[in-house]
Amino acid sequence: MGTRLTIALVLLVAAAAAAWSLERRGRAEPPARGSAAVPAQLDRRDFPRPDATWLVVLFSSATCESCASMGEKVRVLESTEVAVADVEFGERPDLHERYGIDAVPVVAVADVRGVTRAAFVGRATATDLWAAVAELRCPGTSPEPGLGGLGDGRGAPGG
pLDDT recorded at residue 23 = 61
What homologous superfamily does CATH list for 44-137?
A: Glutaredoxin (3.40.30.10)
Residue 42: pLDDT over 60: yes
Q: What is the mean pLDDT of residues 54-74?
A: 94
- Helix, strand, coil shares, percent, the chain, to 5: 35, 20, 45
Residue 129 to residue 135: CA distance in whole angstroms: 10
Residue 154 scores a pLDDT above 50: no
Predicted confidence band of residue 4 (pLDDT cuts 50, 70, 90): confident
pLDDT tens track for 26-40: 555 444 444 567 999
Buried b (16+ CB within 10 A) or exposed e, 45-58: ebbebeebebbbbb
Q: How confident is the model at residue 46 (pLDDT cuts 50, 70, 90)?
A: very high
Q: Mean pLDDT lowest for which of 3-12, 52-61, 69-78, 140-149?
A: 140-149
Query: In the prediction, which pLDDT does 30 show?
Result: 47
Domain boundaries along the sequence of the chain: 1-30, 44-137
Question: How far is the C-alpha of 57 from the C-alpha of 53, rounded, in Å?
Answer: 13
Sheet holding 106-111, edge to edge: 82-88, 54-60, 106-111, 116-121
Are 44 and 50 within 8 A, CB to CB?
yes
- Provide mean pLDDT across the span 55-61: 97
Question: Which of 56, 61, 60 lies closest to 129 in space, CA to CA?
Answer: 56
